Amino acid sequence: MMKILRGTVLALAAVALPVSPAWADEDDDILAAAQAAFAPYQSEEPWTGPDWDMPIFSSETKALVDEWKAGLSDEDVEDLNSFSWLCQCQDFDPNSFLVELEVNHAEGTDVSTVDARAGFGPDRNDLAESELYMLRENGRWTLDDIVSESFPKGLKVELVAAIAAHKARPAEADEGAE
């Protein structure tokens, strides 16, 4: 009788425990990955390297970034490397930088979007809004693409176009030498 009562109490206790759905954990993981991408902007010792060197990108995006970087010379300044991709800014104060993130995730998928709204400047009046496309790879959430005012068709489309421009340059230079 005592075993039955103890089993019933344990079963009832298990049912009474708050249970968070699996998607809640996924949302938390996605949010943590997006927060990690913006963390250097809010650090007392901010990341001084370019966004494209941060270890946050999906393998496909990182491959595009690497190919794009290989086409740059030390003196090359072009649209893609003239500003920070995440805040869409050149200068910011980590003490006044603020980012709001909202996760939009369909349960059970390996893709998600995060709406990001970054505020910076003296009164945080300078706003940059973007949609981060997140991809789960090897058990961790990575940044696969960014759609924003700076990248209306997406960062990856811009990278592909810049890579094509890099590849076209030597051919144009050779044609002019003839």
- Nearest 5°: the CA angle 9, 15, 21 is 160
For residue 177, pLDDT beyond 90: no
- Grade residue 18 by pLDDT with cuts at 50, 70 and 90: very low
Proportion of the chain above pLDDT 70, given as a percent = 72
Contact 119, 98 (CB under 8 A): yes
Taking each helix axis from N to C end, the angle separating 155-177 and 59-70, rounded to the nearest 10 degrees, works out to: 30
Specify the pLDDT at position 42.
Answer: 78
Encode 125-149: b = buried (16+ Cβ within 10 Å), e = exposed. Answer: ebebebebbbbbeeeebbbbbbbbe
Q: Which residues contact 113 (CB under 8 A, 6 or more apart)?
A: 103, 104, 105, 131, 132, 133, 134
CATH of domain 20-177: 3.10.450.50
Specify the pLDDT at position 81.
Answer: 82
| Spans of all domains in the chain | 20-177
